[in-house]
Structure 1
Amino acid sequence: MHNFTRRHFLKAFGITSAAALTGIGLTPLAAHSAGKAHVVVVGGGTGGATAARYLKQLSPDMAVTLIEPNATYVTCYGSNWVLGGFESIEAITHGYDNLRDRDGVDVIQDKVIGVDADSRTVRLESGDSLQYDKLVMSPGIDFKYDDMPGIEEADAETIPHAWKAGSQTELLRAQLQAMPNGGVYVMVAPPNPYRCPPGPYERVSMVAYYLKTHKPRSKVIVLDPKEGFAKQGLFEEGWAEHYGDMIEWRGGSNGGRVEEIDVSGKTAHADGGQERVRADVMNFVPAQRAGQIAHDAGLTNEQGWASVDQRTFKSVMDDNIYVIGDASVAGAMPKSGHAANNQGKIVAAAILRELSGQEPLDPSSASTCYGLITLDYGVSIAAVYQYQNGAQAAVEGSGGVSPLGQSSTFRRQEAEHTRAWYAGITQDIWG
């Protein structure tokens, strides 16, 4: 990964920071007029760190505070490569020194425990509080363990989700390393909507890559409540070519709808209790919702996600709060890292325009989602989005998915683009 730079990424995909912002309405007047306003950003992941960095770069006089409880952030995108055994957890871990020292963002390592919208104040776990003119929330996801009988959040120390990268990634990796040759890895995939639509299937690929290399008599089973998944044809083509019958995917109407999990027995009960699938390593990815602080702040809808004005990502619940990233309802935009990165830029421009008294413009953005099936076999899906008729909509005829039936050279190039994309986007976010 480290052989690729942001320059290579930008050259490969024809993107620059300035070009990325032309579609979201930034003008020099907006940046200048923001003055000494104070914007607080909650959450230092992909969306939050992007918003903080671009706000400060585009309006240097603005006071921008980023609040994040952890000293570093481990990206979910790229974490499957750690499970595949060819990348380290350190390589997908990012700090905030550049945002603080070079960009001038005030980074506070603390946790937000409350938001008072009336007084425009956030309360911190340390006992401090901060006032804001505008608040950007990028709280990520939390899990709905209540939706699955038999398993609780505390059981993640036995049956990991690894859908928040870091210690959970390392736990799942250790379990795979300890699994006997000939053992069974079972993933219980989440229902829609969830973070990173193709993510479970790249994970299955990377687990199979590790097992084929080190424990080739093992089996991979995916129990999926859905009847299909993102890039399914591409993944299944790659699985057949590289893993034969090692991977078995079961959709919702074919025994994939899990109704209960026996934690002690590492057994999934499906198909009305008629089917019992026992695992040596079980990876349960629960149903998801917006991060807890969004609920506590009263920003979520009945489905557990934050509804926003998709033109600006301003919360429909409060005129001074914006919600971006996986937690938001963003029309056709997926819950992906690249989408969150774009949303961070959209909200930066929207805030600058509002503070300068300018009307918001209709933003355009793009999202590319890569996946590895082996170290040298990549697939991708891309789309362009534009605000139309009150929602983020995919632009007809834009983007597309990798074509089926391509050569090993083509797939190797996609794998190289995958790693270049990661290097470029993470440098764009955290410097």
Structure 2
Amino acid sequence: MRRRDLLQGMGLALGGLVAAPAVLRAQGAAGRVVVVGGGVGGATAAKYLKLFNPALQVTLVERQPFYVRPYGSSEVLNGHTTMQALQVSYDALASRWGVQVVIDTATALDAGRRVLRTAGGRQLPYDRLIVSPGIELMYDAIPGYSREVAETRMPSGWIPGTQTALLARQLQAMRPGGVFVIAAPPNPYRCPPGPYERAALMAEWFQQHNPAAKVIIADPKDGFVTDQTMMLGWNRLYGFNPPPDYAQKISAGAELKRHADGASGIAWIRGSQGGRVLKVDAKTMRVETEAETIQADVVNVIPPMKAARLAVDLGLTDATGWCPVERIDFASQRVPNVHVIGDASIADAMPKSGFSANNQAKAVARAIVEQLAGRPAPEPVWENTCYALAGSQYGLFVADVFRLVDGKIARINGKRFLPLDASANQIRLGARYQQAWLRTFTEDVFA
């Protein structure tokens, strides 16, 4: 696994996406762009608008004075990082790139007059509006679960914050031999490898601090992104025996160990085996699935998701709960002169990930600069890479390239995953890539 060969083999064409700032600076026309949402998508869009055309007036509207990054946040649970380390400042966007950062809450827009209104009484005119609202967790979709339960007894922590810190405290204080249940979400959801990486990181932590403890994943799905490479890691590190159909696939590329039944630190109850969660009881700490009722010590519910409430309030969602967009420039199909990027958008084969939001933001920034100058938006090429850990020194990934095919965003590359026959050095290198990516990606977005 040589990264240069991998990227060349995938045919990445990012040069056509972001490599022409000097030309755009010379040719671009000034205008006013307001960006709502200071997460990965919104911050990237604000920065790259100014990079492509410094003459643009770019305003970023964000409720919080700093960003708490979700990517890498599961490492708070095993003490590898801290909640404070997840916080990212907007200072560089303002001081280095000239973005006007407004700490306020967007509440409504006047599409006819092209004005965004905020809770603080501001009326912000725009030529183009970019909305990157993120996700909302549907706590009430699971009987017995609610926001109050999540904040007191069964934290989700999928949007990092106080629930993440609570979950870390619960796990680190769990009784010897306790049971940690992760209720995985249905598709689509933010960060497809995330629940399974979280399970692995805690299985590794338990090996050192609570060796009799067990992680159980209750899953409504029969598979997940990186499933074969992740299960191979679980097999090698935690005594996990993959289901027979997966064992057959994995064995074609790597040697699997056969472990004694019940010896694994991880159990995966897939959808066809009754893994879908029917209800939870926060008082008794029980999780009822289609197959059985599990008595747990710590429960991490990752509920179904939809576009954040702001997207609904601005009239950007459809019956699916997500935001339909024109694929070439992510222009809203609901409201003119508005673009919706990131997790909230309907992006076909592109996953809901920070990497996707970053790529979408760059493409939309390029499109807006061109359109304001009276030129058509170029057809973009997008990519996504999700790094994940099966252990602190066991890295893996999924990497994809996307183009428009028949008006939809389609994956065009073949090889996607860390090879099953990857060497021990390549696996360790994958873990280093993951840690390096956390730093460089954050710098690309916010610095």
Using the size of structure 1 for normalisation, the TM-score is 0.92
- Residue 265 of structure 1 corresponds to which residue in structure 2? 284
Match 1:169 to one of 164, 170, 176: 164
Ranges of 4+ aligned residues in structure 1 off by more than 3 Å: 9-14, 23-36
1:298 to 315, 322, 335: 315
Instruction: Find the aligned partners of 1:167 and 1:335 in 2 and give their Cα distance.
Output: 23
Offset at 1:408? 2.0
Equivalent pair of 1:25/1:361 in contact (CA under 8 Å)? no
Query: Structure 1 residue 91: deviation in Å?
Result: 2.7
Instruction: Report the counterpart of residue 274 of structure 2 in structure 1.
Output: 255
**Unpaired runs of at least 5, structure 2:** 240-263
What is the match of residue 188 of structure 1?
183
Mapped to 1, the partners of 2:439 and 2:292 lie a distance apart of 43
The amino acid of 1:211's aligned partner reads F
Question: C-alpha distance in 1, partners of 2:4/2:89?
Answer: 22
Asked whether the equivalents of residues 26 and 353 of structure 1 are also in contact (C-alpha less than 8 Å), the reply is no
Residue 341 of structure 1: which of 341, 346, 358 is its match? 358
Compute the displacement of 1:92 (Å). Answer: 2.6
1:248-303 Cα shifts (integer Å, max 9, x gaps) = 000112121111111222211111xx621121110000100011111111111111
Q: Which residue of 2 aligns with 1:419?
A: 435
Q: Secondary structure at the match of 2:207?
A: helix
The answer for the alignment partner of 1:367 in structure 2 is: 384
Residue identity opposite 1:430 in structure 2 = F
- 1:143 CA displacement: 1.5
Q: Letter of the aligned partner of 1:115 in structure 2? A: L
Q: Which moved more, 1:124-133 or 1:333-342?
A: 124-133
Give, in angstroms, the shift of residue 27 of structure 1: 6.8
1:115 to 92, 109, 112: 109
Query: In the alignment, what sits opposite 2:37?
Result: 43
- Please name the residue that 2:132 is paired with: 138
Alignment partner of 1:395 is 2:390: no
- Give the match's secondary structure for 2:324: strand
> Which stretch has the larger CA shift, 383-392 or 98-107?
383-392
Aligned positions of 1:211-290 closer than 5 A: 211-244=206-239, 245-271=264-290, 275-290=292-307
- What is the Cα deviation at residue 349 of structure 1? 0.5
- Quote how far apart the aligned CAs of 1:388 are: 2.4
Moved more, 226-235 or 80-89: 80-89
* Alignment check: 8 A CA contact 2:21 2:53 kept: no
Tell me by how many angstroms 1:24 deviates. Answer: 6.6
1:29, CA displacement in angstroms? Answer: 5.8
RMSD, aligned α-carbons: 2.1
- Equivalent residues of 1:25, 1:362 under 8 A apart: no
Quote the offset at 1:165 in angstroms: 1.3
Given the alignment of the two structures, is residue 429 of structure 1 paired with residue 429 of structure 2, yes or no? no
Do the aligned partners of 1:306 and 1:323 also contact (CA within 8 Å) in 2? yes
Contact kept in structure 2, 1:24 and 1:363, CA below 8 Å: no
Q: Residue deviations 1:77-105, cap 9 Å, x none?
A: 11112212222223332110100111100
Secondary structure of the structure 1 residue equivalent to 2:294: strand
Name the stretch that deviates more: 133-142 or 251-260: 251-260
Partners of 1:136 and 1:10 in 2: how far apart?
A: 33
Q: 1:45 to 1:67 in 2, by over 3 A?
A: same
Q: What is the identity, as a one-letter code, of the residue corresponding to 2:76? A: V
For residue 59 of structure 2, what is the amino acid of its counterpart? T
Q: Report percent identity of matched pairs.
A: 42
User: Per chain length, whose mean CA-contact separation is higher, i.e. which structure has more relative contact order (CA < 8 Å, sep 6+)?
Assistant: 1
User: 2:89 & 2:276 partners in 1: Cα distance?
Assistant: 39
**Residue pair 2:17, 2:362 contacting (<8 A) in 1 also:** no
Cα drift, residue 30 of structure 1? 4.6
SS in 2 for 1:264: coil
Q: What residue in structure 2 maps to residue 202 of structure 1? A: 197
CA 1:70–1:145: 2 relative to 1, 3 Å: same
Q: What is the CA deviation profile of residues 361-410 of structure 1, one whole-angstrom value per residue up to 9, with x for unaligned ones? A: 2101211111011111101110111122212111143x510011433211
Q: Which amino acid aligns with 1:195?
A: R
The alignment status of 1:179 with 2:174, answered yes or no, reads yes
Taking the aligned partners of 1:92 and 1:11, their CA distance within structure 2 comes to 32
Residue 23 of structure 1 aligns to a residue whose secondary structure is helix
Between stretches 71-80 and 219-228, larger displacement belongs to 71-80
1:68 pairs with one of 62, 85, 101? 62
- Asked whether the equivalents of residues 225 and 258 of structure 1 are also in contact (C-alpha less than 8 Å), the reply is yes
The TM-score, its normalising length taken from structure 2, stands at: 0.89
SS of aligned partner of 2:396? strand
**Residue pair 1:100, 1:107 contacting (<8 A) in 2 also:** yes
**Residue 34 of structure 1, CA deviation:** 4.4
How far 1:12 moved relative to its partner? 10
